[in-house]
Amino acid sequence: MINKNGYSNNLLQTKKEDFKMKKLASVLLVIGLLSWAGCSGSSEIGSEKTVDKSGSQPEWLLKPTIEEDDFILVTGEITQAKDRSFGMNQAYADGLRKLMNMMQNKVKTQSSLAMSGNNMNESDIGKYSEFAVGWVSDTKNISGIKNPDSYWEKIEKKTAEGVSYYYNCYSQLRVTRVDYNKALEGAYNEMKKKAMEENNAKAEDTAKKLIEDLNK
């Protein structure tokens, strides 16, 4: 059938369908280009993957502090280290810092509670607890610290310029309960000496009681 413009209806229908197909193809092309740009461009920048590691990831990474009957274990870590050797040294140092903080908190809490229970005034409680904490803060007073395990991962990171690499490093430190308690006892002994020098009977008695409780 011929319409008033001289075109057959079939021809018009065909042209309409061609136009729709071309429009659909254009839309799909734009979507495809956007998707490709997203995948190959900015979305890749910052993406990371592990390209090397020292072995299977140990379970102790999920437990940064483990207290057992005979041992205390802490995990030190450093992430995004540029050099593996430096990273492992820093991870060990971080573990040592965490262990020291653990001891300091223990000494401060236990000594403060004991002195408070012995009806000592607040100024003396603060003075003697800080004195004990100061002693246990010196690493040379802590013996028997071991480094039974360590772990590292090498990470590849996409950047605008290409790729960069860094290391995540972890170090597990272990101390026996005996050595741990010896460090606490040393702190309380220093507290006792200070109390004796200042003729503070309550502080001296408190320190003795703390030492006795450790050795039970």
Q: How would DSSP label each residue in 20-48? A: HHHHHHHHHHHHHHHHHHHHHTTTTTT-E
Q: Is a pLDDT exceeding 70 seen at residue 183?
A: yes
Question: Which range marks the domain in which residue 163 is found?
Answer: 48-214
Looking at the structure, tell me whether residues 82 and 176 fall in a common domain: yes
Residue 156, pLDDT score: 94
Number of domains comprising the chain: 2
pTM: 0.75
Looking at the structure, tell me whether residues 195 and 125 fall in a common domain: yes
pLDDT tens column, 81-97: 999 999 999 999 999 99
Which residue in 82, 87, 59, 65 sits closest to 152, CA to CA?
87
Looking at the structure, tell me whether residues 117 and 171 fall in a common domain: yes
CA distance 128 to 204: 10
Vertex 93, ends 91 and 97: CA angle to 5°? Answer: 115
Residue 140, pLDDT score: 77
Looking at the structure, tell me whether residues 55 and 131 fall in a common domain: yes
